[in-house]
Chains A and B, each alone.
Chain A
Amino acid sequence: MSAVAHIFEAAGMATIVLGSIRKQIESTAPPRGLMCDFPLGRPLGKPNDPAFQHRVLDQAFKLLAATEQVLEEFPEAIEDEGSEMLACPLPPRSNADLHPALDEVRGLRPAYDRALEQYGNRAATGRVISADQIEEAMSAFIRVTDGVPWKEAGIPGIPSRVAQDIRGFYELAALGLSDHVPAAWSGTRWYFNSTEGGKLVLAARAAMRDAGESQPIWFYMAPGDQ
């Protein structure tokens, strides 16, 4: 962002960069920077909290008075301890003949559709597959865990991109099942740690890694610390 900021300043516009990674905003040195110690993905801090978002913007706009390069810090931090997990009910098994992940996806579909109606599709599915294709994609990942090489398993797109759509399906369904917006990362932890779908994607990723596949093919199917 800082590199772009310098270009925009040179074109005659005043810029304010919001930064979430301290060392990064310090090393890239934007013309005007506001370090906001918030979780990655939430540069304005708190979703559905206009008052908090306004505090961020107010402090950001104050930097416009600076006459030289400036980096300040927003006084309120939002910490993620890495342990909070969304408490979200999962559907009970309804078809014992199905793989648990496929059974789970069918059970979550009403919640997904409900959340889609309420929030729209901002980060859910559609990068490469629609909600209707989630089962097909998961079936392909099941085949990968069974030992089928990923190129022969029928994955309907680049694995990392397909995995993003599956994660998006689950996280939007979680919004449909929850009465509040989950804390940062808590929905992702719920997906990877609690759901059959998340466990399946991690298992497929591990199978691809263990089969010696190229690291970029499997690594980005989940956050890098997984």
Chain B
Amino acid sequence: MADNDIKSMTEGMEAPVLDTVAFSSPPELGKATVAVVTSASLHHPDQDDFAPQDVGFRVLEGNRRDYQMGHWSPNFDTIGFASDMNTVIPLDRLDELVLEGKVGKVSDVHLSYAGNQFDLSAVQMDSGPAGAKLLREKGVDVVILTPV
């Protein structure tokens, strides 16, 4: 079992075809609100676990640290996240950047999707725009996206 063997199993997957490539310019980072969006299927213990082909998202509250891994794939290391959540959702690091004045604010909420999707149409048409709307309404300017 080796990381490159696992990666080689997925690297040939067909990439989604996008009609447009959007590109937004953020405000100065020191005045920006930053959120994390992950495809690690994280959720709080009191939220529904992810279903095998779950195209929805979970809202992760930033003032909690009880994130659990709900991903269905066995094809990644989980001990790193088990020992330090910042390996996947680096909120402690972002808090430190706020204290240093490098980041304006860490969002109160973050989002988690399930990365093990073969059909992205529902994410593209439904849960993706819904998640974006939610974060925009929370004043988020910059999003860091993390896989597993």
Interface residues of A (CB under 8 A from B): 1-24, 27-31, 39-48, 50, 53-54, 57, 60-61, 64, 67-69, 79-83, 119-124, 126-127, 160-161, 163-164, 167-168, 171-172, 174-175, 181-182, 184-185, 187-189, 192, 220-226
Cα distance A182–B92 when bound, in Å?
21
Q: Check A44 against B86 for contact (C-beta < 8 Å).
A: yes
Q: A5's closest neighbor in chain B, by CB?
A: B145
Minimum distance in angstroms from B58 CB to a CB of chain A: 14
Q: A174's closest neighbor in chain B, by CB?
A: B79
- A40: B residues at CB distance < 8 A: 3, 6-7, 75-77, 147-148
Q: Check B82 against A10 for contact (C-beta < 8 Å).
A: no
- B147: A residues at CB distance < 8 A: 1, 18-20, 40, 43
Minimum distance in angstroms from B85 CB to a CB of chain A: 6
Q: How many residues of B contact A (CB 8 A)?
A: 79
List 10 interface pairs A-B (beta carbons < 8 Å), by A numbering.
A7-B132, A24-B15, A41-B76, A42-B80, A42-B87, A44-B93, A69-B21, A175-B82, A188-B1, A188-B78
Q: Check A184 against B80 for contact (C-beta < 8 Å).
A: yes
Minimum distance in angstroms from A162 CB to a CB of chain B: 12
Cα distance A68–B45 when bound, in Å?
40
Cα distance A225–B7 when bound, in Å?
10
